[in-house]
Amino acid sequence: MKKFLFITILSSVLWSCGGGGGDNPPTPTPVNHAPTKPTLVDPINNSLCIDNVVNFQWNASTDSDGDAITYEIQVATDNQFSNIAHTFTQSATSKNITLEKGVAYYWRVKAKDSKDSSDYSSTFQLYTEGEGEINHLPFSPALVSPDLNSVVQETSTTLEWTASDVDNDTLTFDVYFGTDEDPVTIASENQTATTLDVNLEASTNYYWKVVVKDTNGGQTIGQVWNFKTD
């Protein structure tokens, strides 16, 4: 009898410690998916806008979770968006913005739901017509390589950038390159190519910038870019 009672008690303990299974596993937290990246529509890249009240348009994003989407539009006077002139958040896919006349602008858009956001769209650039203006300055050069703040593990590299001009003028470039944070040494002057090969030393921080010049005397000084060697 005692043996039977001991077995009964032991069985009850085992059952209460997990043998019975009746608990349901916790429901996993749903994973949120960011909306897709918007694509810019208008003004098209490299536009000359005669009216300084500009209607910016982009294609709608989608959200696989069915979340409501809003858009953040940024308009800056530099292509790295360190000088933001206008920023708006809205659900519509277009926005009228009044810009200053005779200024180069750069714009981009990203989509957001309540928890996450997409990457920014590509960057488009435009120029607003100035009063009595005949020649328009070139757009700021855009970095291609080496990537900003990257580490180059070679003894040489190729500096590469892109540039354009709303007047379609022929462009030339002065390239400043060195170890000064604001480089003053001209590594190449009045070149037409958008690349320049440079030799490097180990464990060194390098800084460079490009001055873009058109055939009518206009010039735009690019921002300083940097990288380092291993």
Query: Do the domains at 40-128 and 142-229 have one common CATH topology?
Result: yes
Residue 25: predicted pLDDT: 72
Distance CA 143, CA 160 (A): 7
- Find out whether 83 and 103 touch, Cβ atoms under 8 Å: no
What's the confidence (pLDDT) of residue 133? 66
* pLDDT value of residue 83: 92
Q: Look up the pTM and report it.
A: 0.74
- Strand-pairing partners, residue 65, are none
Burial per residue of 79-102, b for 16 or more beta-carbon CB atoms within 10 angstroms, e otherwise: bebeeebeeeeeeebebebebeee
Question: What is the pLDDT, as a whole number, of residue 20?
Answer: 52
Domains of the chain, by residue range, sit at 40-128, 142-229
Supply the pLDDT for residue 15.
47
* Three-state SS letters, the chain: CHHHHHHHHHHHHHHHHHHCCCCCCCCCCCCCCCCCCCCEEECCCCEEECCCEEEEEECCCCCCCCCCCEEEEEEECCCCCCCEEEEEEECCCEEEEECCCCCEEEEEEEEECCCCECCCCCCEEEEECCCCCCCCCCCCCEEEECCCCEEECCCEEEEEEECCCCCCCCCEEEEEEECCCCCCCEEEEEECCCEEEEECCCCCEEEEEEEEECCCCCEEECCCEEEEEC
125 and 43 Cβ atoms separated by less than 8 Å: no
In our burial notation (b when 16+ CB lie closer than 10 A, e otherwise), range 198-212 reads: eebeeeeebbbbbbb
Cα distance between residue 74 and residue 72, in whole Å:
7
Residue 88 phi/psi, 5-degree rounding, is -140, 150
pLDDT digits (tens, 9 = 90+) for 169-219: 999 999 999 999 999 999 999 999 999 999 999 999 999 999 999 998 899
pLDDT for res 131:
72
Beta bridge partners of 160: 145, 195
Low-confidence ranges of the chain (pLDDT < 70): 1-23, 132-133
CATH fit for domain 142-229, picks 2.60.40.10, 2.60.40.1150, 2.30.38.10, 3.40.630.30: 2.60.40.10
How far, rounded to the nearest angstrom, does the alpha carbon of residue 161 sit from its chain's CA centroid? 16
Q: Specify the CATH number for 40-128; select among 2.60.40.10, 1.10.40.50, 3.40.50.720, 1.10.1740.10.
A: 2.60.40.10
pLDDT at 5: 47
Q: Which residues of 3-12 are buried (b: 16+ CB within 10 A; e: fewer)?
A: eeeeeeeeee
